[in-house]
Amino acid sequence: MIIKKLLLALCSLLAFITPHAQNYPYQSDVLWVTAPDHPNWLYQLNEEAKITVSLFEYGILQDNLEIYYSIGPEMMPSEKTGTAMLKNSQAVISIGTMSQPGFKDCQLKVSLNEKEYKHHIKVGFEPEKLTPYTEFPNDFVSFWKKAKADADECPMKLEKTFAPEYSNDLVDCYLVKLQAYKKGSYVYGYLTLPKKGGKYPVVFSPPGAGIKPMNPLKDLFYAESGFIRFDMEIHGIRPNLDAETYKEVSQAFGNGNNSYLVNGLENRDSYYMKKVYLACLRALDYLTTLPEWDGKNLIVQGGSQGGALALVTAGLDERVTACAANHPALSDMAGYKAGRAGGYPHLFTNYEGMDTPEKLKTLEYYDVVNFAKRINVPVFMTWGYNDNVCPPTTSYIVYNILNCEKEALITPVNEHWISLTARHQILDWIKQNLR
172-183 pLDDT, tens digit each: 999 999 999 999
Query: What is the pLDDT, as a whole number, of residue 262?
Result: 95
Q: Of 119, 120, 235, 416, which residue is the catalytic one? A: 416
Q: What's the rounded Cα separation, in Å, for the pair 19 and 41?
A: 24
SS3 of residue 34 by DSSP? strand
Closest CA to 153 of 273, 270, 278: 278
Supply the pTM of this predicted model.
0.93
Give me the residue spans of the domains in the chain. Answer: 7-129, 140-432
Residue 13 has pLDDT above 60, yes or no: no
Q: What is the distance, to the nearest Å, from the Cα of residue 39 to the centroid of all Cα atoms in its chain?
A: 24
Level-2 CATH architecture, domain 140-432? 3-Layer(aba) Sandwich (3.40)
CB 350 within 8 Å of CB 333 = no
Residue 17 has pLDDT above 70, yes or no: no
Q: Of 54, 304, 331, 395, which residue is the catalytic one? A: 304
Examine the residue annotation and report whether 304 is marked as an active-site residue of this protein. yes
β-strands 186-194, 171-179 pairing = antiparallel
Query: What is the pLDDT, as a whole number, of residue 24?
Result: 61
Q: Which residues pair with 406 in a beta bridge?
A: 379
Q: Of 259, 332, 387, 395, which residue is the catalytic one? A: 387
Q: Which residues contact 223 (CB under 8 A, 6 or more apart)?
A: 170, 171, 173, 192, 193, 194, 229
Q: How many Cα atoms occupy the beta-carbon half-sphere of 375 within 13 Å?
A: 34
Measured N-to-C along each axis, helices 357-366 and 272-287 cross at an angle, to the nearest 10 degrees, of 10
Examine the residue annotation and report whether 387 is marked as an active-site residue of this protein. yes
Level-2 CATH architecture, domain 7-129? Sandwich (2.60)
Q: What's the rounded Cα separation, in Å, for the pair 103 and 122?
A: 6
Q: Percent of the chain, pLDDT > 70?
A: 94
Q: What's the rounded Cα separation, in Å, for the pair 261 and 330?
A: 9
Query: What is the pLDDT, as a whole number, of residue 250?
Result: 84
Q: Which residues contact 386 (CB under 8 A, 6 or more apart)?
A: 23, 120, 121, 122, 412, 413, 414, 415
pLDDT of 310-342, one tens digit each? 999 999 999 999 999 999 999 999 999 999 999
Query: Measured over all CA atoms, what is the biggest interatomic distance in the chain, rounded to whole angstroms?
Result: 71
Residue 83 has pLDDT above 60, yes or no: yes
Q: Which residues contact 153 (CB under 8 A, 6 or more apart)?
A: none
β-strands 30-36, 102-112 pairing = unpaired
Q: Which residues contact 339 (CB under 8 A, 6 or more apart)?
A: 73, 76
pLDDT of 107-144, one tens digit each? 999 999 999 999 999 999 999 999 999 999 999 999 99
pLDDT band at 25 (very low <50, low <70, confident <90, very high): low
Q: What's the rounded Cα separation, in Å, for the pair 417 and 297?
A: 27
Q: What is the mean pLDDT of residues 252-272?
A: 90
Instruction: Tell me the residue type at 237.
Output: I
Q: What is the mean pLDDT of residues 46-64?
A: 96
Burial of 270 (0-12, 13-18, 19+ CB in 10 A): exposed
Examine the residue annotation and report whether 167 is marked as an active-site residue of this protein. no
Q: Which residues contact 21 (CB under 8 A, 6 or more apart)?
A: 15
- DSSP state string for 174-191: EEEEEE-SSTT-EEEEEE
SS3 content of the chain, % helix, strand, coil (to 5): 30, 30, 40
Q: Which of 28-32, 133-137, 277-281, 387-391 has the lowest mean pLDDT?
A: 28-32
